């Protein structure tokens, strides 16, 4: 449960050279050979890798080594599960593209625990609101430069960003981002109330609301070409609904960040208020295929999320109902052995995706896509692979195998 990113540019890295295209985002084709996949079957995963550093360029320095135990175990998990597409949350933004290149060359392309290397020809690093100074005391701690005063929580620009790795080509010209969309412009926004005043939605001043963005990191729609189909990958990492006060500003923001995707799925007309960073309005076309993925920081029954926030997506008419209704909900053997930090635990522990006992990481496909298999990488404590977990992340990788129409 951390935070992400920094405003960036789009950088296309060709083999043995750079060709820069300064647009929102960073797509990096690295020209590795894609692995053969079963026709029309696609494994998609999300993994909060908890790699964000405490100083700028800290992650880049770590990635220059080939012997970092956490990075080795993260790479081993990816080599074991072998997703065709994976979103990595909490990977610090690096506009040069060097960090993601080092992740591939120094870890993913090297055998870990005697596993087969894996490569991703296409990479997209999303710009983010975290760490960008707001100029206001947003958290009311008497300071203007604390992490809670940034447009999204962060100690420095670029911290806690996210990156998409894909073995299928990204349709770069059709990518949409909603990084700059203001929270106040969401109809019926759950703006926090100041506990010492009688008004509603008055925690933030008018001047603060004029610059405060809804997304704590970014909301990105990336179309990808898969076996003759266009699949929209809807990426985000909403703020955790904790670390605030009675105003519940983080819980309310988490709810509305999740709502953005819910409205986006409801169609172009329903979401006509949504204006992306390029000035285009509206939501997803009703016939478009999609997968929502990321650390959404909201559990269906446990935890501190506001008004069951994740159900806005789980119960959405366009989302496949199996992601919360039957045995195709991603689950694990190891999750059953955890000791939740905040009992009582109402949910099924086998479905949890975080070490503290919550389901917060999701891969949510459109109902038109057939779910073949799914899982959470959380081995039984008696298995050798369980030793990879502690020095990797406090989150678990979640994967779903899909069959396209």
Please check whether residue 218 is in contact with residue 175, taking contact to mean a CB–CB distance below 8 angstroms. no
- Strands ordered across the beta sheet of 229-236: 176-177, 219-226, 229-236, 289-295, 361-365
CA nearest 289: which of 236, 238, 221?
A: 221
DSSP SS3 for 249:
helix
Q: Which residue has the tokens 């100083």?
A: 55
Residue pair 228/15 in contact by the 8 Å Cβ criterion: no
* Residues across the chain: 405
Longest dimension (CA), the chain: 62
Rounded CA separation 54/253 (Å): 24
pLDDT score, position 39: 63
Q: How many CB atoms lie within 10 A of CB 247?
A: 18
Residue 207, classified by CB atoms within 10 Å of its CB into exposed (0-12), middle (13-18) or buried (19+), is: exposed
In this prediction, residue 127 carries a pLDDT of 94
CA 247 to each of CA 3, 133, 216, 251: distance values in angstroms, whole numbers, following the listed order: 20, 22, 17, 9
Give yes or no for a contact between 251 and 304, defined as CB atoms under 8 angstroms apart: yes
State the DSSP string of 22-83.
-SSSEE----PPPPP--TTEEEEEEEE-----SSTTHHHHHHT-S--HHHHHHHHHHHHH--
**285: which DSSP letter?**
-
Q: Residue 226: how many CB atoms within 10 A of its CB?
A: 22
Instruction: Find the DSSP H helices in 245-355.
Output: 249-265, 311-314, 322-325
Give residue 225's Cα distance to chain centre: 20
Predicted confidence at residue 10, as pLDDT, reads: 32
For residue 122, the Cα-to-chain-centroid distance in whole angstroms is 17
Q: Measuring CA to CA, how many Å separate 383 from each of 251, 379, 388?
A: 37, 6, 10
Residue 150 parent element (H or E): none
Token pair of 373 as six digits: 């298999």
Give the H or E element holding residue 306.
Answer: none
* Sole residue written with tokens 């969401």: 186
Local confidence pLDDT in tens for the 405 residues of the chain: 433 333 333 333 333 232 323 233 554 444 333 344 456 789 999 999 999 999 999 999 999 999 999 999 999 999 999 999 999 999 999 988 899 999 999 999 999 999 999 999 999 999 999 999 999 999 999 999 999 999 999 999 989 999 999 999 999 999 999 999 999 999 999 999 999 888 899 999 999 999 999 999 999 999 999 999 999 999 999 999 999 999 999 999 999 999 999 999 998 777 999 999 999 999 999 999 999 999 999 999 999 999 999 999 999 999 999 998 888 999 999 999 987 777 788 999 999 999 999 999 999 999 999 999 999 999 999 999 999 999 999 999 999 999 988
Q: Which of 233, 254, 126 is nearest to 190 (CA)?
A: 254
């Amino acid at each position: 449960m951390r935070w992400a990113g920094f405003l960036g540019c789009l950088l296309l890295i060709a083999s043995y050279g750079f060709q820069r295209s300064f647009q929102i985002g960073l797509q990096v084709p690295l020209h590795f050979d894609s692995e053969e996949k079963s026709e029309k079957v696609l494994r998609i995963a999300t993994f909060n890798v908890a790699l964000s550093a405490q100083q700028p360029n800290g992650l880049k320095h770590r990635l220059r080594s080939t012997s970092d135990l956490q990075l080795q175990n993260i790479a081993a998990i990816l080599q074991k599960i072998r997703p065709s597409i994976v979103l990595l949350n909490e990977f610090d933004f690096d506009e040069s593209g060097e960090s993601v290149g080092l992740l591939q060359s120094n870890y993913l392309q090297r055998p870990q625990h005697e596993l087969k290397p894996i490569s991703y020809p296409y990479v997209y690093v999303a710009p983010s609101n975290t760490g960008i100074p707001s100029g206001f005391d947003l958290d009311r701690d008497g300071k203007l430069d604390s992490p809670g005063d940034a447009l999204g929580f962060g100690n420095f620009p670029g911290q806690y960003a996210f990156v998409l790795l894909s073995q299928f080509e990204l349709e770069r010209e059709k990518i949409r981002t909603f990084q700059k969309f203001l929270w106040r412009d969401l109809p019926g926004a759950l703006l926090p109330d100041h506990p010492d005043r009688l008004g509603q939605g008055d925690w933030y001043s008018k001047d603060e609301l004029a610059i405060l963005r809804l997304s704590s990191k970014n909301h990105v729609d990336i179309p990808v070409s898969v076996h003759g189909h266009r699949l929209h990958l809807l990426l985000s990492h909403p703020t955790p609904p904790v670390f605030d006060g009675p105003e519940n500003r983080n819980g309310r923001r988490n709810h509305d960040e999740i709502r953005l995707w819910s409205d986006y799925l409801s169609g172009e007309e329903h979401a006509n208020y949504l204006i992306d960073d390029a000035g285009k309005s509206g939501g997803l076309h009703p016939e478009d295929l999609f997968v929502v993925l990321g650390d959404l920081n909201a559990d269906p029954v446990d935890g501190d999320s506001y008004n069951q926030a994740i159900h806005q997506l789980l119960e959405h008419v366009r989302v496949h109902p199996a992601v919360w209704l039957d045995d195709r909900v991603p689950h694990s053997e190891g999750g059953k052995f955890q000791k939740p930090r905040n009992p009582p635990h109402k949910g099924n522990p086998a479905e949890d995706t975080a070490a503290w006992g919550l389901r917060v990481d999701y891969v949510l496909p459109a109902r038109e896509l057939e779910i073949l298999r799914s899982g959470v990488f959380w081995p039984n404590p008696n298995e050798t692979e369980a030793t990879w977990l502690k020095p990797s992340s406090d989150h678990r990788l979640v994967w779903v195998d899909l069959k396209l129409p």
